[in-house]
Amino acid sequence: MSLSSKHLLGLHGVPKEDIQTILDTATTFREVLERPIKKVPTLQGKTVVNLFYESSTRTRISFELAQKRLSADTVNFSKAGSSTSKGETFKDTVKNIEAMKIDMIVVRHSSAGVPHYLTKITNANIINAGDGRHEHPTQALLDMYSIREKTGRLEGLKVCIIGDIAHSRVALSNIFGLQTMGAKVSVCGPATMIPKGIGNLGVKVYHDIDKAIAEHDVLNVLRIQLERAAGSSIPSLREYHNYFGITSERIEKNNKDVLILHPGPINRGVELSSDVADGPYQVILDQVTNGVAIRMAVLYLLGTMN
Amino acid sequence: MKIKAQLIDEAGLNRTITRLAHEILERNKGSENIVLIGMRTRGEFIAKRIHEKIKEIDKSEPPLGVLDVTLYRDDFRTRLKQPEVSVTNITFDINEKDIILIDDVLFSGRTARAALDALMDLGRPNTIQLCVLIDRGHREMPIRPDFVGKNIPTSINEEIKVKMKEIDGEDAVYLIDISED
């Protein structure tokens, strides 16, 4: 029942039993979210710091709500307006926060490996909320939960991740997690957005979106990340939409049983047309609800570990 | 760990459940306002049995739910093993209802305490009545049962093991010796 690690740094190397435990535990919290009083006293007395060095809406609010619904005390740190601008080093900032007696740290940072570094300089449980282009494990877990909720399984399912794979931490966590659970994972996108050597991870590469839609049960459509210089990989957003955008016509022509996921925020008219983003094939807002349940499960499993 | 004695057998369990069902109906003057809530794991099955009995006796079907109190426990910091959580399944309104809270063994009273907190988060019942198959004593909280299948004074080195056909393959209650010799 307990997880094998006291941190959640990524899904690479996380055993199948652990992923299963997190997904199953999330079912419990999904029920709590449906109650009139959406709060349980489980993490009373635990203090969690949300250390966000990079902007975020969904993930930060989702983590914060998950913490509050488990009755943990939470503090939020964001880079803007902090003493980082006075020249304090990352390590000093963290050491100072830890000295205020905290139990867990949820961290997002633009550099890969920051959560791993934190495990070396603090005793708190560390949860990775996204590190650079590396991993975003809770996002992949909530994706897997949403897929399992809709299709009833992960084993043997064919999932295609579409878009800017090279700049995406969501893609990498999804690949590791889904493969561990026995799904077959492919990627699809323009050649400039597919990292070299991705085939070594056992991932099939598609460049034809119609073929990708036709041959998969699930499409996890990523956001074109303009802030990560994705603009230099494609001539224009319009052209990207013409070649790789998911539209109702493409779905109806190729595969009407396909399930569409998107981690948000959506660029409407770029990776998804607006009618798909609001249409019957997608579970985008279910993903958001499930995200709170998944984060509650992770916080619960790590926070009550002895 | 060895079995010291069988306290209740299959026929005995059936008789006890019949009596509990009658007592619940008597105390509540019928089944009109009652709801049955079993506590995972064994309490769930005892609740189901009582529910069937009430159907037989009273020709009525009070709502039946399952409560998981793991998230409300007070021993997260002291337990060695992390308890497994499962899902609470109460699909009806408990406001103004008379809740019959059902468990297999009443011991320290801590699980019942957690259940009271859990129920309060779901609504404001009229009453909560505690029904247990076995009361083995050693209370650590000011909690008393309203309906008791059997009172069995035990020593702290003993344990009560309730077995139910649904998950254990037999209906029986055993007294078990857990002292290390």
* Burial class of residue B66 in the structure, from the number of CB atoms within 10 Å of its CB (0-12 exposed, 13-18 middle, 19+ buried): buried
* A35 interfaces chain B, CB cutoff of 8 Å: yes
User: What residues of chain A lie within 8 A of the CB of B72, using their CB?
Assistant: 40-42
Q: Among the CATH numbers 3.50.50.60, 3.40.50.1370, 3.40.50.300, 3.40.630.30, which is that of A16-135+288-303?
A: 3.40.50.1370
Q: What pLDDT is attached to residue A84? A: 82
Which residue among B72, B76, B121 places its CB closest to the CB of A35? B121
By C-alpha distance, the chain B residue nearest A297 is B85
- Average pLDDT value for residue range B111-129: 94
Instruction: Name the CATH topology of A137-287.
Output: Rossmann fold (3.40.50)
- Residue B78 burial by CB count (10 A; 0-12/13-18/19+): exposed, middle or buried? exposed
- Chain A residue numbers with beta carbons less than 8 Å from the beta carbon of B117 are 41
A167: tokens are 């700049």
A15: phi then psi, degrees, rounded to nearest 5: -65, 155
Would you call A40 and B82 a contact, using CB atoms and an 8 Å cutoff?
no
Residue in the block written with tokens 């105390």: B27
Q: Where are the domains of chain B?
A: 2-177
Q: pTM for the full model?
A: 0.88
Q: Do domains A16-135+288-303 and A137-287 have the same CATH topology?
A: yes
Domain ranges of chain A: 16-135+288-303, 137-287
| Nearest-CB residue to B121 (from A28, A37, A306) | A37
| A86-90, Cβ contacts within 8 angstroms, sequence gap of 24 or more | A90/A53, A90/A114
Interchain CB distance below 8 Å, A301 and B82: yes
Question: Which residues are CB-neighbours of A144 under 8 A, at least 6 positions away?
Answer: A19, A23, A154, A174, A177, A178, A181
Interface of A with B in 39-68 (CB under 8 A): 39-42
**pLDDT tens profile B133-146:** 999 999 999 999 99
Q: Is the pLDDT of residue B77 over 70?
A: no
> Which residues in A lie closer than 8 A to residue B82 (C-beta atoms)?
1-2, 301, 304-306
Find the range with the poorest average confidence among A96-100, B76-80, B103-107. Answer: B76-80
Average pLDDT over residues A281-295: 96
Question: What is the reported pLDDT for B109?
Answer: 95
SS3 content of chain A, % helix, strand, coil (to 5): 45, 15, 40
Domain B2-177 listed as CATH 3.40.50.300? no
Q: Which two tokens stand for residue B111?
A: 């699980």
d(CA A248, CA A227): 27
The separation between the first and the last C-alpha atoms of chain A, rounded to the nearest angstrom, is: 13
Q: Do A41 and B82 touch (CB under 8 A)?
A: no
Among A28, A294, A299, A302, pick the best mutation site for testing chain B contact (most B Cβ within 10 A).
Answer: A28
Number of CB pairs, chain A paired with chain B, less than 8 A apart: 46
The token duo for A67 is: 């913490």
Q: What is the ipTM of this complex?
A: 0.74
Closest CA to B82 of A232, A270, A303: A303
Mean pLDDT over residues A288-294, rounded? 97
Whether A28 sits inside 8 A of B82 (CB atoms) is no
Which tens digit of pLDDT belongs to each residue from A264-280? Answer: 899 999 999 999 999 99
The residue that leads in pLDDT, B84 or A258, is A258
